[in-house]
Amino acid sequence: MRFLTLPKESTQCLPAFWRMPFFTLVLILATPPAWAAGEAEAATDARDSTTAQPDLAENTDSPASIDSTDEQVPTFDPAGLAQAREDRLRYEQVISALENASTQNVYNPELTEAYLGLASAMEVLGENEAAAAVFDQALQTVRISNGLNSLQQLPILEQLLDNHLARENWEDVDNFTYLIFHISRRNFPVGNLRRVEALNRLGAWKFKAIHENLSGGGSRSAFEILNMFRSEITLLEETEDFVGKGIQMATLHLGEARGQLAVVRQINERPLSDYRTTSQQTITQQQCLTIRLPSGQITTICETVETPNIDYYPEPLALKNREMGIYLDNIRDALNKTFEALQQDGDIDTRTQLAEEMHSVTQAYNTFIIENRL
């Protein structure tokens, strides 16, 4: 079996916990680590209150827990609902006045703010579908005023993403998650944490959608997202060292490992008929023999013969396992690089979180190996 084994490299820059052999580290990571008895509870509280790496795969708003009823009014106090109704009426009046004030400068910041206020009030009242339409109007005003790739879109896109997640509109979730990454990539340079976070969230969502077969979430293949991680890793490797580079490299290599696992799962689902060879059992080749004639002269004699075609003989299952084996080896390599990058820099809480995520991927890898007897 292909269980993970990582080298026991020197890690003098880390606390004693990190200098343990990898398998010992993995076993310890089966439970949340604490760097010291007095720090365990504080570290857990810090991780609960802040999220350094957005990960939809671990989001509590999973399909199993999301309430997809569109017009269900959330449980709020009567005063809160009354205030939301007042806000909705007020913002509707502001929007009407602004739209009628000038046909030449209708797309101004005040109108955008009014749209956002109206949409937020609608969400409080449970009018989520109508709120999404108003958020979209706010988005259009920003695009017209600031351009299609402007950073000003990101807060609105975040609200639209949350809205569609709550309603389980997976195709829109897919589109908005990708758009957030696209705009982040266009505006933030390589090495910027927000750029890495946007890609990490895109990857987490995409691999979740593929693994859980969420309708509308498979518009981009796992291989395409995997290549995004590979490209970002190459770009980051070419930059000069900076504080936090190791954490970003670990995050990207961990995303790469998830991508490899998503790809190998897709390969595993393909039917064996895809691997049946279409080649001939034999192939025609020209074979030549160099001989020396009785006269001492050297000559070459060639003839056309039928020879076995080695590509014809492997069983479909062997061909399929061979293809999966390439990606399984790549997972091992990516997790190894994640482990090495975690030794470079970063605060304890961030490194602990990434180590726990690395352990989760390791468990998923080993479970796949066992279930498929590879």
Structure tokens of 6?
A: 């990582």
Inter-helix orientation angle 316-341/348-372, to 10°:
170
278-325 pLDDT tens trace: 667 788 888 888 888 888 888 888 888 888 877 676 788 888 999 999
Given a cut of 50, whether residue 69 has pLDDT beyond it is no
130-157 pLDDT tens trace: 999 999 999 999 999 899 999 999 999 9
Q: Please tell me what DSSP assigns to residue 161.
A: H
Structure tokens of 278?
A: 């279409």
C-alpha dihedral sign at 41, 46, 47, 49: positive
355-371 pLDDT tens trace: 999 999 999 999 999 99
- Interatomic CA distance for residues 369 and 1, integer angstroms: 7
206 neighbors 174 (Cβ within 8 angstroms): yes
**CATH for 67-167 (1.10.3470, 1.20.950, 1.25.40, 1.10.1740):** 1.25.40
307-320 pLDDT tens trace: 887 767 678 888 89
Highest mean pLDDT among 11-20, 51-60, 130-139: 130-139
Residue with tokens 């696992």: 261
Q: Please tell me what DSSP assigns to residue 5.
A: -
Residues contacting 240, CB < 8 A, separation 6+:
none
Residue spans in the chain of domains classed CATH 1.25.40: 67-167
Asked whether the whole model's pTM tops 0.85, one would answer: no
Least confident stretch, 55-69, 244-258, 283-297: 55-69
Identify the pLDDT of residue 245: 94
Backbone angles phi, psi at 11, to 5 degrees: -135, 50
Identify the pLDDT of residue 72: 47
Highest mean pLDDT among 55-69, 182-196, 197-211, 293-307: 182-196
Highest mean pLDDT among 46-50, 56-60, 97-101, 333-337: 333-337
What distance separates the 2 farthest-apart alpha carbons in the chain? Answer: 113
9 neighbors 21 (Cβ within 8 angstroms): no
- Interatomic CA distance for residues 128 and 71, integer angstroms: 7
